[in-house]
Each structure stands twice: as structure tokens, then as C-alpha cells.
Amino acid sequence: MVSNQKIIAILRGITTDDAVLHIGCLLEHGINRVEITTNSPGWETSLQQVRQRFGSDVQLGVGTVTTSDQVQRCFAAAVDFILTPNLNPKIIALAKKHELIVCAGVFTPGEIFTAVDMGVDVVKIFPACALPRNYPQRIKGPLSQPVSFSAVGGVEVGNAAEFLRYYDSVGLGSALYKPGQRVADTAARCKLLL
């Protein structure tokens, strides 16, 4: 069993026609942290529609943020958090200036320490499947402050609970949602997490 409060639903490729329907389904199953990626068609329109429909019931984030322009657009859309695929000091500094919660993609111990020094809120280990599941426990010892770890990349419905033994949250992408799938399929996948 997985605590749905520890899941970030990654909706890569979702269309504006599908965003409200699928996020409504996720909310019905207790998943309220949702990431719409910048490489999804009409992602800004989706953000507006989702926020208008669900308000603060959903913690809304934007993933695959790689440019300063995207950070500015996220801020303008009043999102709750952003996720980066890599550790980009310029992007992180701008997001922090706008008081956005930053989840930055890292892999190595050096990147983790740098991310902490830059004030990243959540360290996103990507791809998490390429490392031992207890990787955060091996790194936390030398860190001088508590750090929130999120596992993304290779996390599936069937192994999410195992990752959550060591991580504070997990990002579920294609294991939970694939572009064009029916809402009933999203619901079925959510039920497998219970």
C-alpha cells in the first residue's frame, strides 16, 4: 500500500482536453500533487483550466522546466512548484527569486550537495532506477541538514512502495498516465496503489 500523499503524478504529453478529466480522477483517488510538463501541448492552458476547476485542492507543478522564460511563465500561472530535469543554477536562482518550490533533478553525490547549497527544496534523483533503492540513506549521513528526496525514473505502480521506504516522495509518469489513455485506465492504475 502506498500513501497517495507521497505521489507526484507526472502528466507528460497530456492535452488541454484531457487535463481536467484526468486530474479530477487523480483527486478522487487521493493524489493531489500533479505535474504537467512543458513538453505537453498547450501546457499553460491546461494549468489555467486545472487551477480554475480545482483551485487549491490540487498542488500544481510544472515539469521539464529548462529555460528562464518557462520559469517566468510558471510564476505567471501561479503554480505551486517546478521540476527541472537537471541542476541548472540560473533556473534555480530565478525560481527561488519568484518563491517557487524547486524540485531539481540530480544523480551524483556532488550534484546533491550543490543542490542543497543552492537552496533546492526537493532533490529529485533521476533516473532513480539506475541506483540502489536505498541511495538516499547512503547520502544523508554527510549532509549537514535534512533533505527531501524524490525518486523519478523507473518508478512503477508495483515498486513505488519499495522506493518510498527510502524516499520522501515518488514521481509516477507513464506507469500512471500515458498520452491518450482513457480516464478509466487512470482510475485502474490509481487503484493498484491502494
Length, in residues, of the chain: 194
Grid cell, residue 66, equals 529548462
Grid cell, residue 122, equals 526537493
Helix (H) or strand (E) holding 104: strand 101-106
Please confirm, yes or no, whether 156 is among the known catalytic residues: no
Angle at 171 between CA 15 and CA 33, to 5 degrees: 65
CB 7 within 8 A of CB 169: yes
- For cell 537537471, the residue is 86
Q: Is 49 helix (H, G, I), strand (E, B) or coil?
A: helix
| Amino acid, res. 18 | D
Catalytic choice (28, 35, 44, 156): 35
CB 149 within 8 A of CB 168: yes
Catalytic choice (99, 111, 124, 191): 124
Please confirm, yes or no, whether 178 is among the known catalytic residues: no
Q: How many Å apart are CA 175 and CA 165, to the nearest integer?
A: 19
Which amino acids are annotated catalytic? 35, 124
